[in-house]
């Protein structure tokens, strides 16, 4: 493949041996070339501006400036290269912050031999790429988010009184105690309870408790009742 058509890659990592290994892996791919290396985040920002790579392979833990800030600065510029994070750490917070700072992908170093080249090609095309363990966790988070959104939508169907009844029932209060706390009849409590179950399509107290816990974790506002 002609050199001009190759994907130009900048490698940023503070370990010389790691950079050498990555360079060898990238240049043996045939469709990409390493145009530069950086041993810290500040140098990565400088080299990204001077060398105009297509993709920056970015370690997060580096001296002078960490990879997170370097990613943010690189991606803040016009016609910025894509950034593919390559890190030993894959905590949800790190992944989320990397994405917020402009990274298009995230590869775990332990799987670099399998994922790095594919990751470079994918982010170069403008597509997100994540190592399998991260991709699986992101899919789980998306499902949970969708579920929470659906629960929040259902909660808007409840009246203020129904919310109060739901909250107290979920905390283990029997109908008579709920009636006493809200100063309404037991029959009215039973009516609200049935309406709550019908609207939420949840027909047991354990399910209502799980629902309220999920809503609280999503910072949904519930009445503050003793």
CA distance 69 to 2: 34
CATH code of the domain containing 113? 3.40.50.2300
Helix (H, G, I), strand (E, B) or coil at 3: helix
Q: Compute CA distances 22 → 117, 123, 198, whole Å.
A: 10, 17, 58
Are residues 127 and 27 located together in one domain of the fold?
yes
Residues 115 and 11 in one domain: yes
100 and 59 housed in the same domain: yes
Residue 122 counted as domain residue = yes
Distance CA(27)–CA(11), nearest Å, equals 12
d(CA 219, CA 155): 13
Residue 145 lies in a domain: no
Contacts of 63 (CB under 8 A, 6+ apart): 14, 39, 40, 41
Closest CA to 225 of 151, 159, 163, 174: 163
> Are residues 63 and 165 located together in one domain of the fold?
no
Is the confidence at residue 21, as pLDDT, over 90?
Answer: yes
Compute φ and ψ for 9, nearest 5 degrees: -120, 135
Residue 14 host element (H or E):
none
Claim to verify: residue 24 and residue 93 sit in the same structural domain = yes
Domains: count for the chain: 2
| Domain end point (choices 137, 168, 195) | 137
Same domain, 71 and 24: yes
Answer whether residue 84 is part of any domain: yes
* Structural domain harbouring 213: 157-217
Q: What is the mean pLDDT of the chain?
A: 85
Note whether 130 and 173 are same-domain residues: no
CB 36 within 8 A of CB 47: yes
- Are 121 and 203 within one domain? no
pLDDT tens track for 182-211 = 999 999 999 999 999 988 888 888 888 887
Backbone φ and ψ for 172, nearest 5 degrees, come out as 95, 5
Do 162 and 191 lie in one domain? The reply is: yes
Asked whether residue 128 falls in the same domain as residue 167, the answer is no
Residue 142 lies in a domain: no
DSSP-derived 3-state class of residue 64: coil
Q: How confident is the model at residue 177 (pLDDT cuts 50, 70, 90)?
A: very high
Residue 119 lies in a domain: yes
Q: Indicate whether 105 and 13 sit together in one domain.
A: yes
Q: What percent of the chain has pLDDT over 70?
A: 85
The per-residue pLDDT for range 124-154, each reduced to its tens digit, is: 999 999 988 888 777 665 665 555 556 556 6
- Report, as an integer, the average pLDDT of 110-114: 84
Q: Are residues 21 and 65 in the same domain?
A: yes
pLDDT in tens, 26-45: 999 999 999 999 999 999 99
More confident residue, 79 or 85: 85
In a domain, 224, yes or no: no
CA distances (Å), 52 to each of 48, 82, 128, in order? 5, 11, 20
Q: What is the CATH number of the domain that holds 200?
A: 1.10.10.10
């Amino acid at each position: 493949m002609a050199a001009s058509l190759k994907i130009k890659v900048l490698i940023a990592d503070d370990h010389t041996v790691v950079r050498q290994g990555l360079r060898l892996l990238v240049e043996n791919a045939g469709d990409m070339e390493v145009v530069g290396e950086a041993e810290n985040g500040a140098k990565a920002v400088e080299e990204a501006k001077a060398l105009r790579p297509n993709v920056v392979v970015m370690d997060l833990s580096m001296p002078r400036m960490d990879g997170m800030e370097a990613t943010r600065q690189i991606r803040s510029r016009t016609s910025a290269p894509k950034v593919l994070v390559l890190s030993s750490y894959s905590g949800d917070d790190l992944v989320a912050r990397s994405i917020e700072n402009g990274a298009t992908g995230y590869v775990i170093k332990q799987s670099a031999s399998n994922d790095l080249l594919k990751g470079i090609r994918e982010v170069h095309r403008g597509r997100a790429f994540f190592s399998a363990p991260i991709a699986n966790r992101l899919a789980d988070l998306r499902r949970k988010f969708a579920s929470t959104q659906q629960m929040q939508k259902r909660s808007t169907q409840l009246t203020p009184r129904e919310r109060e009844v739901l909250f107290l029932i979920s905390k283990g209060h029997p109908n008579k105690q709920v009636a006493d706390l809200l100063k309404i009849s037991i029959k009215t409590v039973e009516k609200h309870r049935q309406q709550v179950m019908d609207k939420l399509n949840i027909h047991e107290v354990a399910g209502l408790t799980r629902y309220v816990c999920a809503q609280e974790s999503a910072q949904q506002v519930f009445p503050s009742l003793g």
